[in-house]
Amino acid sequence: MRSALRRSRRANAPIDRTDTSHMARQKTPKEIWRSDDGTSTLYRGDQLALMASLPDASFDCIWTDPPYFLSNNGTTCVAGRRTTVNKGAWDRSHGIDEDHAFNLEWLSECYRLLTPAGTIWVSGTQHVYFSVGMALQQIGYRLLNDIVWEKPNPPPNLGCRCFTHSTEMLLWATKASKGSRDRYTFNYKEMKKINGDRQMKNVWRIAAPGNNEKQHGKHPTQKPVALIEQCLRASTAPGDRVFDPFAGSATTGVAALNLGRRFVGCEIETSFARLGRKRLVAADAESNSVSTP
């Protein structure tokens, strides 16, 4: 199946999903941050270009928040005010077929970059997770769980023509096939312990990012550090390498550093990459101060 996908992509012209007036698309992404110990990095540039430069089996886990294709000229509610849902060219749909081809392309590269027992987490709403779920299966991933992230205080639905959107989905999958000698990491006992010694369910109620997580700036689709930390606690071990091809404000990196994991991320838009760098500098300093006797 993967070879067929590669042939299909070669037969078609590449999809350019960027607007160069808003984004820094580069042949070779530029490193803009490196942790003090040299094990974690953030790049600014095109995620596919960076992934192509990385060797097979580079990462134990991937956690990422790809474009949801929500920028459709509609409106939403932010801080009690009506505002546009448009976030940028990177979030605009190119139609079902092209959107799915895009998901197949980057998820195929993620498959190559994962270790044989590696796992991937992909967040999304109904606008994208059906495509992502199908692409994961087409490529050869094994789906493990869907996680429902419930937001305690979602913004109201201003149109009043459907239910208030209060959840997002996370799909968790592994490269390891069923019955394989390669066993993916699931820290069952730790998750049970933090859940009051009961099996953890797949519905997680976690608040959206607070002001303390936005002190360096805001990202329109920023995820709470607690959400990503819970995923990484479940599926990685200290010292594991974590990758995020759509790094945004680098929340995945912050969570990884907080937990003693190594991180590589890539963000195409310059303003978000700069925000991510600020957050990683602060998180790296905090982790170093905690580890210093």
pTM for this predicted structure: 0.86
- 3 band by pLDDT with thresholds 50, 70 and 90: very low
Q: What is the pLDDT of residues 74-127, one digit of tens each?
A: 555 555 565 655 556 656 677 899 999 999 999 999 999 999 999 999 999 988
pLDDT digits (tens, 9 = 90+) for 197-250: 999 999 999 999 999 999 999 888 899 999 999 999 999 999 999 999 999 999
Residue 97, burial from CB neighbour count under 10 angstroms (0-12, 13-18, 19+): exposed
**Domain range spanning residue 161?**
2-291
57-89 per-residue burial string, b: 16 or more CB within 10 A, e: under 16: ebbbbbbbbbbbbbbeeeebeeeeeeeeebbbb
Task: Enter the tokens of residue 259.
Answer: 């937990």
**How many domains does the structure of the chain reveal?**
1
* CA 244 – CA 228 distance, rounded (Å): 11
CATH (domain of 10): 3.40.50.150
